[in-house]
Amino acid sequence: MVVLHNAGLLGDVCPMSEQNPQVWQESCRSTLMPPLCSPRHCFLYYSNRTPVHWSLLHQALDVRDEPNWGAYAASKFATEGMMQVLADEYQQRLRVNCINPGGTRTAMRASAFPTEDPQKLKTPADIMPLYLWLMGDDSRRKTGMTFDAQPGRKPGISQ
């Protein structure tokens, strides 16, 4: 069984002191609750018969140098931390990894960087090979790791 957790809510792009607590809570809920609940439900359903691979999408490498990303940045850092804890706790029963897609041509990206030329960004289809490899048998010994879909790409607006 393969699970891809690809939830995220940009929230307010403003200084932390101006962040709306309700938006912050929703951003963290959409990003952090599935990693908390999913392994339990997977194991109850599969009763240890089937190895489970679970990939968490996170953008932490792109937000580290971006001020004003508050809830989004915090939730993505927390996602990577949860991945590491889950990998340690479940070891062979659950493969869990993070994928940093990098700047990708999506609606969320366009709302975060409205002046960016989307043609300079990779499409989701362009970075799909990493997802397919990570969810396939060739990566079965990989767990507790973060993979960059666009290694070497600099954070921020594409130039």
- The angle subtended at Cα 112 by Cα 110 and Cα 115, nearest 5°, is 60
72 counts as catalytic: yes
CA distances from 126 to 23, 67, 104 (A): 31, 28, 9
Tokens of 107: 């609606």
Do 121 and 102 contact (CB within 8 A), yes or no? no
Exactly one of 45, 46, 72, 131 is catalytic; name it: 72
Cα-Cα-Cα-Cα torsion 27, 42, 127, 80, nearest 10 degrees, comes to 50
- Proportion of the chain in helix, strand, coil states, percent, rounded to 5: 50, 15, 35
Tokens of 148: 């960059």
Q: Active-site positions?
A: 72
